[in-house]
Each structure stands twice: as C-alpha cells, then as structure tokens.
Chains A and B, each alone.
Chain A
Amino acid sequence: MKYGRALLTSLLATILGAVVIAGIAVALAHLQPHQNPYSGVVGTTSETVNGQQVSVKHVALSLATYPDSLFTGQPHGANGGAHPDWVSYNHDNLVVPANSIVTITLDQYDSGGALNNSFFGQVRGTLGGTATFSTWGYAGCDPSTFVCTSTAKQSLADNGVKSTLTSNQWPYYSVGHTFTLRSTGSAPALLVSVPLPAVYGDKDGAFYGPQTTPNAIGGTYPIQHTTVTFSFKVKGPGVYQWNCEYPCGVKTGNFGEAMSTYGYMSGTLTVK
C-alpha cells in the first residue's frame, strides 16, 4: 500500500508540474498586444496585374507616435496608465484582411536624433519603394544636424515652413521613430520599414513650433508635427510583428522598456 501511494503521489506531482510548465509556455507563446484590435477603414482600390486593372481590398490605417502615453483616447488607461512617460504608438494591435493593400498615414509628434543603423533610414517594402514625408522646418533649425539655435517659438504659429517629400529614404539626420514590420514564421515573407522624421526640439529640449493640448491632463504636442504616408500589400493570413528601430528607450542598448513592450513601441499586424 505504501508503495502504491508513493507511486500515485509521484505520478500526480509529475503531471501537475508538466501542466504548469506547459501553461507558462502556452501563455508566453500567445503574448498579446495590449490595446484593442484596430482595423481602420476598409474599402477597395485597383491594382495592375499582368497589364489589367483588378479590384483589391484597401485598408486605411491612421497611426500616431507620441512622446508619452497621455494622448487622446487613452488606450493605456486614465492618466496614461502604469507608464505615462513612455513613448507610444496609438494602436499596436492592427488587423487587416488578406490580400489587401494597406495604406498607413502616420502622425509623428516626437523629437529624435540619429539612427544607429543606416539600414533603417531607407524606405523598404512599400509600393513603389517610397513614402511621402510631410514635415515642418523653421528658421534657425538645420535639418542636416537637427540643431536649432533659438529657443522655442511656441506662439508663432505661422513661422513654420511645410515641406513634402516623396522618397525612398529620409535623407536627413532627424529620425523620431520607425515603423518596421517583419514576418514571423507563420506569415508569408514581408519586410516593411519606414523612417519617421522627428519634430524639431530647441536648444533647451522643448518642442519647436506651436503646441496643442490633445490629452486630458494638460500635456502638449506639436501642432506642426510630421506626417508620413506609405502603402504595402499583404498576402495570406498570418501574424507580423512590428516595432520601432530608433533606439530612444533606456537599458539594453536603448531598446528597453517602451521599446520592448507590446502596446507602446511594438505590436502585431494580423492578416485574416
């Protein structure tokens, strides 16, 4: 009897341990983005296939990158959630239909600096190999060095000069973030990477240009922010991962904290 009880106990303990470990593994494997699914506006467009125009699904996604988590809509919760000071995308859980053209219009509100890998200064994987960059420049700010010699001109709304550039790269120093998407083992191969130009900061670190107050507790973001538009085509179902490749975080090569956390500067794009 003692032998039987010991055998039963050891078997149950082994099974219980295996279940616990399997549960942890499954939970990690299904690590989910932190925000609600976002599908944008779905419609149709046409593309040329073998010389003929064919109808194809089109998805318009409106994204934004902010210097903190206090923006309108508050996906991180009241007062910016657990990390109100973390830089953040406004959506991290993107869902699009299979075989569709995805157009992203991305408003970029953050300052930046130089990339540590020139690879991400190029536009990659988009239709036509280009993106359209809409930026604001100011007198006294040098785009090649990202140096502004004056203090912030927040009251001079008409002082900025808007420029639009369609190019296969962002040719200047000032990158705020990137949108870089890659396939995991489950999805057809795809790499899309677009640099997101920064907003100028003055010599004291404040944002250049007039500010606005889009969030609930009084923070400000530049009215004259940068906007980037690009399109790419997705194929069959699968899950892609995306993140920002401009290292503006802390720890682990400046890719720690917000840079390595779903819901902030990393997320997924699910093709269904």
Chain B
Amino acid sequence: MANNNSQKFSLKSFLAIWAILTAIGIWISIKGTPWLMMKSASHQMHTAILTVIVFSVAAAPVAAGIYAVQIYALAKWRYKGEGVPPDAEPLRNNVKAVSAWIGVSALLTTFLLIWGLAALASDENVSGPRPMTVNVTGQQWLWSFQYPIAQTLLHHNVESNVLEIPLNNQANFNITSVDVTHGFWVPSLGVKVDANPGAITTLSVIPNKLGVYDIRCVELCGLNHSAMITKAYVVTEKQFLTWLKAQPASQPVATATVKN
C-alpha cells in the first residue's frame, strides 16, 4: 500500500469542505430552529428563538471545522495493513495556529456572553400597559389560577384551572406551590419558573399573539406529573372581561397552612 503520508495537506480542499458544511449548518440553524421550537406568542419567546438561532449560527463554522478535519483526514490519510506512518508534529509548537484558535474562541465566547446577558436583561425588564396580576398555585397534580382583578371589577374572587390573559397587556404572575416543587412553564410565552412551597416566585410577560397554548409542569412532582397540563388562552381585552364575568364567584373555604 502506498504511503499516503506523502500526500500534502491541501488547504483549498479543506476550505471547500469546511465552507460547504458551514453553509449547511447555518441553513439548518436558521430554518430548523423555529420549526423545532414552539410558536412564539411573546417577546421573550421571540428572543429565545432568536438567541438559539444566533448561537447555532455562531457554532456552525466551529462544528463544520471539526467535521471538515475528520472528513479530510479519513479521505486523505487512512491506512491499511503494515507501515502506518508516525503522527505529524503536534500543533502546540505552531504559534500561529494556536494563537488563531485561542483568539477566535475568545472572540466567539465573548460575543455569546454579551448576547446572552442582553437577552436576559430584556426578559427581566418587562414593562407594558395595564399590568394584571395572576396568582398561580401548583398542587399535585393541577394548576389553579386566581385573578385579583375580579375582586376590583366584580367584587368577588375568581379561580380557574385555565389561564386567561388579554393580548398586549402585561401579565404579572405570583407563583407558589402548596405541596412539592413544581415547574410552571408556558413554552410559547417563553417563561418558566419553579413553583416552590412556602415561597413565591414571580415573572412577567406580555403576550403578543392570540391563541391557545400549553402550560406544563417541568419539575418531576409525583405519579401524575405528566398529566399536570392545562391551557393558556390569549384573548382580546373584551373577550377576557366577558370570560371573567362568566366565572362563578369563588368562595374559599377554610384552608390550612402547608403541612410538612
């Protein structure tokens, strides 16, 4: 078998492979990400989808480079039988290659860090019109929602097992649990936070698309954890008020404190 080690490295061939794989990776990142993720119904979810796309596009040339090295090596330097040549000189002695590798990695990770921090700040600084509070209670294995605005508008409490919120109005959630830790997740709104017993976690969101969206528990909480599902309805303000008025008055019976 001819000794393929005599074949020199072809930069053009390697770059061609790398460029094709990078193009494929970027195309998958841009087209595949929205298809894989839930449809967006809020600014937070839009930011989340955009962040995944940007991070994937940034990672595409890096991954493509690794795969290009593998493909090139398998194609050009595979051996069979006796007389396998020794390894080439390690790159650690190649100052230019190592400097480029570290420099590009540092720039890339710095960019991703800044993007991530900016996206996080954007999610936390939610400010919108007509903020409305919804109290969320998780219990094995059901979500219940209390609407304090009903006390103001209708002079009685309203509780529901579905979430109903008006479009383009800020919804502020106070979330707790009365037994074990649950995870309150509305995928299409791009919000998720733990529901902890004895504590209140908060989050805010402004839904910007009408529709019906899933609410799931994402913290394993017992036998029927997988059935702890309900719906979030994003409706017009008029529809929300009509729905609120149609709900029966909730008269809470005596409740005990959390027992441990």
Residues of A near any B CB (own CB < 8 A): 113-119, 121-122, 124, 129, 144, 168-173, 175, 180, 182-185, 189, 191, 193, 195, 241, 243, 245, 247, 252-255, 259-262, 266
Q: Determine the distance from Cα of A116 to Cα of B177 in the docked complex, in whole angstroms.
A: 10
A171 and B251 within 8 A (CB): yes
Partner of A118, one of B141, B161, B253, B257: B253
Residues of chain B lying within 8 A (CB to CB) of residue A169: 251, 253
Residue of chain B at shortest CB distance from A254: B259
Q: List 30 A-B contacts (CB under 8 A).
A: A114-B256, A115-B254, A116-B139, A116-B179, A116-B257, A117-B178, A118-B159, A118-B252, A118-B253, A119-B137, A119-B161, A121-B251, A124-B161, A180-B142, A182-B142, A182-B227, A185-B227, A193-B142, A241-B141, A241-B224, A243-B140, A245-B142, A252-B222, A253-B258, A253-B259, A254-B259, A260-B140, A261-B223, A262-B223, A266-B224
Q: Determine the distance from Cα of A144 to Cα of B97 in the docked complex, in whole angstroms.
A: 80
The reply to whether the CB of B105 lies closer than 8 angstroms to some CB of chain A is: no
Partner of A116, one of B226, B250, B258: B258
Partner of B223, one of A115, A124, A172, A260: A260
B179 and A253 within 8 A (CB): yes
The reply to whether the CB of B144 lies closer than 8 angstroms to some CB of chain A is: yes
B255 and A116 within 8 A (CB): yes
A182-B227, A255-B180, A261-B223 known; A117-B144 Cβ under 8 A: yes
Q: Determine the distance from Cα of A257 to Cα of B121 in the docked complex, in whole angstroms.
A: 43
Residue of chain A at shortest CB distance from B253: A121
Contacts A253-B178, A260-B222 supplied; 19 other A-B pairs, CB < 8 Å = A114-B254, A116-B179, A116-B257, A116-B259, A117-B178, A117-B255, A118-B252, A121-B251, A121-B253, A129-B248, A175-B253, A184-B229, A193-B142, A253-B140, A260-B140, A260-B223, A261-B223, A262-B223, A266-B224
A114-B255, A117-B139, A119-B144 known; A252-B224 Cβ under 8 A: no
Residue of chain B at shortest CB distance from A248: B259
Residues of chain A lying within 8 A (CB to CB) of residue B253: 114-115, 118, 121, 169-173, 175, 195
Residues of chain A lying within 8 A (CB to CB) of residue B229: 184-185
Residues of chain B lying within 8 A (CB to CB) of residue A172: 253-254
The distance from the CB of A168 to the nearest CB of chain B, in whole angstroms, is: 6
The reply to whether the CB of B7 lies closer than 8 angstroms to some CB of chain A is: no
The reply to whether the CB of B197 lies closer than 8 angstroms to some CB of chain A is: yes
Of residues B197, B253, B260, which shows the largest number of chain A Cβ atoms within 10 Å of its Cβ?
B253
Residues of chain A lying within 8 A (CB to CB) of residue B256: 113-116
The distance from the CB of B235 to the nearest CB of chain A, in whole angstroms, is: 16
Residue of chain B at shortest CB distance from A121: B253
Which residues 218-260 of B have a CB within 8 angstroms of A?
222-224, 226-227, 229, 231, 248, 250-260
Q: Determine the distance from Cα of A170 to Cα of B223 in the docked complex, in whole angstroms.
A: 27
Partner of A266, one of B177, B180, B223, B250: B223
Q: Determine the distance from Cα of A261 to Cα of B140 in the docked complex, in whole angstroms.
A: 13
A184 and B179 within 8 A (CB): no
The distance from the CB of B160 to the nearest CB of chain A, in whole angstroms, is: 9
A118 and B224 within 8 A (CB): no
A115 and B180 within 8 A (CB): no
Residues of chain B lying within 8 A (CB to CB) of residue A121: 251-253
B178 and A116 within 8 A (CB): yes
Q: Determine the distance from Cα of A173 to Cα of B231 in the docked complex, in whole angstroms.
A: 30
The distance from the CB of A259 to the nearest CB of chain B, in whole angstroms, is: 8
The distance from the CB of B164 to the nearest CB of chain A, in whole angstroms, is: 14
